[in-house]
Amino acid sequence: MISYPDRLNLAQIPTPFHRLDRLTEQLRSQGAQCPQLWIKRDDQTGSLTSGNKVRKLEFLLAEARAQGCDTLITSGGVQSNHCRATAVLGTQLGFRVHLLLRSDTEPQPVGNLLIDQLVDASISHYSPQEFKKLDSLFAYWQQHYGQQGSKTYSIPTGGSNGTGLWGYIAAAQELQQDFKRQGISPSHIIHATGSGGTQAGLTMGFSLLGMDTQVEAYAVCDNSDYFKRKVTEDIRQWSEQNSVAVEIDELPIVTLDNYIGPDYGVAGPEIFAAIKQLASLEGVILDPVYTGKAFYGMVQEIQKGRYASASDMVFVHTGGLFGLFAQQQKLNY
Ligand SMILES: Cc1ncc(COP(=O)(O)O)c(C=O)c1O
């Protein structure tokens, strides 16, 4: 029995869980030893709040409220899905929201940023160089609001920490119910990893549930050593906060880091082709920053035979649709 801390009811859950029959069939017809593919639709956790972040924010914003905070400060890339979800939910709940955004070029009011602006979040744009001193940027704004008599709650990039991790522990439990309902025992769960919280939560969640489903995270930035460290750190924090003993070295933390492409947020034509492939076959739309790369990587690995002995496997669609609109010209229509 998992004992959860306070949580706000913000996500539209349980999200749908369904087969990807046409994709499975197509890959098999091309000669791949392809397990039955399934998808967990965490792109449907909400409309404006779509994606994986709202699951973490259910716990983070509950903590912010319990601490009597009135201002949220968080950070991310200029097209951060996490910042957009925080801006929307924070506004809905009556918090002031301040976003610290890393902008490599002149920020365009499109995609996630457009929504941040519409809900009137305060936004500070920083160059990648300035963003390297993120801790001091947080400290500066905490002090700024503190002097105005506000109480701030700071959320790290991606909402990935010991509190946010609960979101994907709960999602692992939801997946366990999905598997039961469908009568399957998938050997692998695939998802995109960026700040490590989804990976940490799912890995910890399946371990707590005693399930041997292997979580395989496809990196969209940083290498597998980084994710080993980050996931370990988040789980250690979670275990200390909740006084749960965890043999972290025994946990199977698996990251594939060979599908990052040119850079974080930069995708080659093969990713846009993969997005079109899934959209036209199954009516499911991925994004070029996270899910498109993880999906493309998964298909490559299926074709190479990595999952040949599996009977069922699951792709977690973690959202990101608004990020596609920010790069729509690359779809070449
Ligand atoms: C759409 C999408 N998918 C996947 C991820 C990765 O999740 P995490 O930050 O928990 O690693 C993110 C955020 O970084 C995201 O916005």
The finding on whether 91 has its CB within 6 A of some atom of ligand 1 is no
The yes-or-no verdict on residue 109 having pLDDT over 90 is yes
pLDDT tens digits, one per residue of 205-227: 999 999 999 999 999 999 999 99
What per-residue confidence (pLDDT) applies to 104? 85
| C-alpha 146 to ligand 1 mean position (Å) | 30
Over residues 116-139, mean pLDDT: 98
| C-alpha 39 to ligand 1 mean position (Å) | 16
What does the domain layout of the chain look like in residue ranges? 17-51+162-331, 53-159
Distance CA 183, CA 189 (A): 16
- Please state, rounded to an integer, the average pLDDT across all residues of the chain: 97
The finding on whether 79 has its CB within 6 A of some atom of ligand 1 is no
The finding on whether 198 has its CB within 6 A of some atom of ligand 1 is yes
| C-alpha 305 to ligand 1 mean position (Å) | 26
User: What number does the ligand 1 atom closest to the CA of 319 have?
Assistant: 1
CATH 3.40.50.300 fits 53-159, yes or no: no
Residue 80 among the catalytic residues: yes
Long-range contacts of 61-64 (CB under 8 A, 24+ apart): 61/8, 61/10, 61/89, 61/90, 61/93, 61/95, 62/5, 62/6, 62/7, 62/8, 63/5, 63/6, 63/153, 63/163, 64/95, 64/153
Q: Which one from 50, 75, 80, 207 is the annotated catalytic residue?
A: 80
Say which amino acid occupies 173: Q
Fold equal for 17-51+162-331 and 53-159? yes
The yes-or-no verdict on residue 174 having pLDDT over 90 is yes
pLDDT tens digits, one per residue of 42-93: 999 999 999 999 999 999 999 999 999 999 999 999 999 999 999 999 999 9
What per-residue confidence (pLDDT) applies to 100? 98
pLDDT tens digits, one per residue of 270-327: 999 999 999 999 999 999 999 999 999 999 999 999 999 999 999 999 999 999 999 9
What is the CATH number that goes with domain 17-51+162-331?
Answer: 3.40.50.1100
